[in-house]
Amino acid sequence: MEVVRKVDLVTLNRGAISIFDITKLLYQMRLLLLVSLFFCTAANAQDTLIQKSDLISTSKVFDLSFTPKEIDTLYLDVVDNLGNLKAMHKLSLNNNVPLSLWQNPQLPGMEFNKKQNPINWNKPSSVTLPKNINELAFYSIDQLAALLQTKKISSLELTKFFIDRIKKYGDTLECVISIQEEIAYEQANNADKEIQAGKYRGLLHGIPYGLKDLFAIKNTKTTWGAAPYKNQRIEEDAFVYTKLKEAGAVLVAKFTLGALAMGDYWYGGRTRNPWNLKNGSSGSSAGSTSATVAGLVPFAIGTETWGSIVSPATVCGATGLRPTFGTISRSGAMALSYSLDKVGPICRSANDAAIVFSYIHGTDGKDLAAVNMPFNYEPNKNIKKLKIGYAKNYFNKIKDTTSNEWQVLEVFKQLGVELIPVNFPDSGVYNFNIMDVIIGAECAAQFDEMTRLNIDDELTRQAKNDWPNQFRTARFVPAVEYINAQRHRTILMQEVNKVMQQFDAIICPSRGAEGNQSAITNLTGHPVVCVPSGFDKKYNLPTGISFVGKLYDEASILKIAAAYQDATNWDKMHPILFTK
């Protein structure tokens, strides 16, 4: 090809050129531009390693089909997109940088009571110290509060008692990441001084507790249970820690979680089930649950994105409250999935869970998905006045009518409660795995650099269902499909709310193959409390039952759960190994 010469340009500038020469010169320049573009594109394609054949193969992954002409047309745009993504990848995002989009479980037209009424707790009378001091490990929160308020024991003594138990059993259960002795003894001393001076803050004043180690506290390590972060320090106090500090509670330990809030395997081992040490405690609020059930603390705080409170509570025999999405601010907590993460208490009884929740619900304004809603718990409410259903489409799949799930229904019938059979919205509404699309994309986004920079190689677990592979798999979820999954989620919210608005609670099996309740209620944001319901026949491990409630109505399901526990003894049974 003839290249445009310098002399041609000089002649053009002097105006001494014909129309024919101008046309020829423009044609030559156009050819030069096209050739340059070709070589530049080829270089970019070589640099990005994207070929048109790649687009044909990739489109099959996304259930798409393009003609050769369509591939030709979109090819350069895809190359440009990749350049834009590479530019974005050069900008690091900390885990605490939120989305500009916020999940809201409320639908248009919904109205909620905004008035907080005083709660008249049924405080136990004449509580005494046990002759066998080990029994103190399984006292309820209000029993411990009575001992503290009447000065039969000091917060410092109580704190030392539980720290000693943590030191004795923590390694056995593999449930402790750090013992916070300095913080604990300072807070216990302060509690004793205030109680002595008559400045009583309430039922949590002087009560020891533990936190799942994804909550940040200044001057402490916050490991997220994962090897790459085991020396991480986040100089921030999480909202839930701040609320408990204001209540006068005493932090004694930070407990294990499955690495990055999955399962019960963390960088130091596997958290054990107190009822059988050969088994894991499930996750991801593994340590919080295991420690509470074993009496290492009166209560602990966990989180749930999809099953991380309900699952370990079921397996270990705890009472776990997963509140309505947004009722507790998540500021200072590791973000896994901004539209799904929830904070909740893990206790040994529904009444204890109600006490803890009454102190930690609300927002500091830092979590834009969080709201201030009242918690109007009525300890003496007659549950016969509540409308309670049971998910017959789930229960009918449990063919053994002597199973613990069916026995739960019998207990309520004996209490004089009329149980109403209802089909919990599932098949016909949950027509594809909405959860996998949403949770996959959001979690992978939160740990984007972990995948791109191969930091995931440092994680202890590397199997198919572990985070490294899950994060990689999620890279193949198109943005369009993620957004459409969120739109299907709206339809799901509408359908579930149609049913839930007719009931104060619906009883559902906690886990198993009966249905998709766990995924569905996590997506819709409805509250669930899980309580122990006995032991399974095969492994003699705890089983659980779940009570699903209306949005922001934790009070009703906790009262119903408390009534069930008053009528049974399952919550009062403790693993023998830890009662000695």
Q: What is the reported pLDDT for 5?
A: 34
**pLDDT score for 32:** 52
The torsion defined by the Cα of 525, 531, 534 and 537, in degrees rounded to 10, comes to 30
Is pLDDT above 90 for 189?
Answer: yes
| pLDDT tens-place string over residues 515-558 | 899 999 999 999 999 999 999 988 999 999 999 999 999 999 99
Nearest to 103 by CA among 429, 375, 439, 495: 439
For domain 133-431+458-578, give the CATH superfamily: Amidase signature (AS) domain (3.90.1300.10)
pLDDT at 7 > cutoff 60: no
Q: Which tens digit of pLDDT belongs to each residue from 397-435?
A: 999 999 999 999 999 999 999 999 999 999 989 999 999
User: Given this model, what pLDDT does residue 456 score?
Assistant: 95
- Domain extents for the chain? 6-89, 133-431+458-578
Share of the chain above pLDDT 70, in %: 92
b/e per residue 242-275 (b: at least 16 CB within 10 A): bbbbebbbbbbbbbbbbbbbbbbbbbbebbbbbb
**pLDDT per residue as tens digits for the range 265-284:** 999 999 999 999 999 999 99
DSSP assignment of 233-259 equals B-----HHHHHHHHTT-EEEEEE--ST
pLDDT at 39: 45
CA–CA distance, 559 with 24 (Å, rounded to integer): 89
pLDDT at 84: 86
Strand partners, 320: 346, 530
Res 221 pLDDT > 60: yes
Is a pLDDT exceeding 60 seen at residue 117? yes
Q: Nearest CA to 318 among 340, 342, 286?
A: 286
Q: Say if pTM beats, i.e. exceeds, 0.95.
A: no
Residue 260 has pLDDT above 70, yes or no: yes
| pLDDT above 70 for 44 | no
- Could you tell me the pLDDT band of residue 364, with boundaries at 50, 70 and 90? very high
Structure confidence at residue 10 (pLDDT): 34
DSSP per-residue string spanning 456-500: GGGSS--STTSHHHHHHHHTTS-HHHHHHHHHHHHHHHHHHHHHH
Percent of the chain with pLDDT strictly greater than 90: 86
Calculate mean pLDDT across residues 371-377: 98
3-state class (DSSP) for residue 179: strand
Rounded CA separation 456/467 (Å): 8
Residues 6+ apart with CB under 8 A from 421: 389, 390, 392
